[in-house]
Amino acid sequence: LFVCGTNAFNPLCANYTRDTLELVGEPIGGMARCPYDPKHANVALFAEGSLFTGTVTDFLAIDAVIYRSLGESPALRTIKHDSKWFREPYFVSAVEWGPHIYFFFREMAMEFNYLEKVMVSRVARVCKGDLGGSQRVLERQWTSFLKARLNCSIPGDSHFYFNLLQSTSPIIRMQGRDVILGVFSTPSNSIPGSAVCAFDMQQLARVFEGRFKEPGGCAVQGSRFSSSNTLPDEVLNFIKTHPLMDEAVPLLGHRPWIVKTMVRYQLNTMVVDTEAGPHRNRTVVFLGSTRGTVLKFLITPSPENPYSNTNTFLEELEGYNPERCGDDSVQARQPLSLTLDKPSHTLLLAFHSCVVRVPVARCQLHSRCMNKLCHPNAHCFISGFEITVTQLLQFPSDTHTHTLFLAHLPYGTFGTVSSCEAVKFWCNSAMINEEASIESADVLSHLAGCGTVPSVPVQVSPIHFVHLQRHVPLK
């Protein structure tokens, strides 16, 4: 393990064994790898043997830097005290994708300096193989540094922007594309609100192919310039003065996936479970709020738009415990990080004074029947399938029988609320046997909702279904 810490305003880094946490070798200086003050932002990752960090290098957090160290490649950094490169950035995360390292952060926007101070969210990237500039221009500095704005907004005549990036997910695979999710919020002097926006990494990379990109691409063998330190001075000077791309990175689906407005809290942390559900193919997003709770959403593909998704709010979990954490102030309730521990099916919430473990679901609050048949919570679903319901009516002499065919369809595919409400009715009925038999039969591939029968029945291959009956006297 490579660990860095502020060390009482004297940053240090050291290697430790993973199992016994014994020190390996001597500590090394942590400047540009770790901030001086724990309140200052810091992100880091290893890629191809080098450490890439985004942090500040001084006590006052004035000198912000993206820095590469260790490994065989030469140490490189961003230009010092140049507001075109950085202006009061707050680093949120860093990811590796292709030949680049991407840094996600928020900063004061220089392009809006006529509007006083406007904070916007950005993504910057550097080439992993960058060797720095010539001895005259950008020596020991990045020649591949570019940045672009992240657009998380609600469309309309005048877009409503969520400008403050708070947290991101790792790069996840969804519907055949690499996607990164981000939690954004509004400034404190605006309408309170938060949103989750998704960005396609392919679209994100294409933004860096747009205007103000000279040369932009990585200097590698086979290209016009095989090494960045052989670039002409005029190219290096252009790079030095034009790091900002003209276009913003568009959000996937053209609107946020999740929006929470007009509430007395904001969302500031997130974690994504892409292997929820019985087949480990559902996506559940956990969002930490500034009041110490966790909001849980199920993300499902939208049938109307292949580039968009719909969300279902599942539940809100209480995370912060003032009795255990010893403080109940507003500041103490704000989570610092949120982590999913898959083996134990729990969430780990880190606060200023404590770490809290929370189960990912509270299935005990629901009946066994609901968990088996129609509960939308992927972590509670016992039988492994979602349920769609149709109601078929039969008329014996003195009673009519309501027969519910509960088709085993892939999780999350039931179409109408009325279908689920019907299952709730049957589950809540004392006459329903929760250990109902599961049989195999041909069932309708499309079920039209409670009280109606599909006009064109379509047979599908035999699949399991649950057959429940309730006798109701005729009126």
Whether residues 348 and 373 fall in one domain: no
Whether residues 96 and 235 fall in one domain: yes
| Residue-by-residue pLDDT tens, the chain, 475 positions | 999 999 999 999 999 999 999 999 999 999 999 999 999 999 999 999 999 999 999 999 999 999 999 989 999 999 999 999 999 999 999 999 999 999 999 999 988 766 678 899 999 999 999 999 989 989 999 999 999 999 999 998 888 999 999 999 999 998 889 999 999 999 988 889 999 999 999 999 999 988 764 445 576 666 666 677 778 888 888 888 889 998 999 999 889 999 999 888 999 999 999 988 777 888 999 999 999 999 999 998 877 776 778 888 888 999 998 988 988 898 999 999 999 999 998 999 999 999 999 998 876 665 554 444 444 555 654 333 333 333 333 333 333 333 333 333 333 333 333 344 444 444 444 333 333 332 322 222 222 222 233 333 333 333 333 333 333 333 3
Whether residues 79 and 156 fall in one domain: yes
Whether residues 241 and 331 fall in one domain: no
Residues near 319 by Cβ (< 8 Å), separated by ≥ 6? 288, 292, 293, 294, 335, 347, 349, 356, 358
Q: Is 41 exposed, middle or buried (0-12, 13-18, 19+ CB in 10 A)?
A: middle
Element (DSSP H or E) covering residue 420: helix 417-428
Last residue of a domain, one of 357, 379, 394: 357
Whether residues 304 and 351 fall in one domain: yes
Q: Residue 9: how many CB atoms within 10 A of its CB?
A: 10
Contact 317, 358 (CB under 8 A): yes
Contact 390, 452 (CB under 8 A): yes
Last residue of a domain, one of 326, 357, 388: 357
Whether residues 136 and 98 fall in one domain: yes
Whether residues 34 and 83 fall in one domain: yes
Q: Give CA–CA dist 137/238, Å, rounded.
A: 10
> Could you tell me the two tokens for 394?
């039969």
- What CATH number is attached to the domain comprising 50? 2.130.10.10
Q: Residue 291: how many CB atoms within 10 A of its CB?
A: 17
Element (DSSP H or E) covering residue 390: strand 386-394
Look up the domain containing 383 and give its range. Answer: 364-473
Backbone φ and ψ of 103, nearest 5°: -115, 130
Q: Are strands 386-394 and 399-409 parallel, antiparallel or unpaired?
A: antiparallel
Number of structural domains in the chain: 3
Whether residues 323 and 250 fall in one domain: no
Whether residues 146 and 7 fall in one domain: yes
Whether residues 167 and 243 fall in one domain: yes
Whether residues 351 and 372 fall in one domain: no
> Could you tell me the two tokens for 449?
């909702």
| Prediction pTM value | 0.78
Q: Give CA–CA dist 393/166, Å, rounded.
A: 53
Whether residues 160 and 63 fall in one domain: yes
Last residue of a domain, one of 271, 304, 319: 271
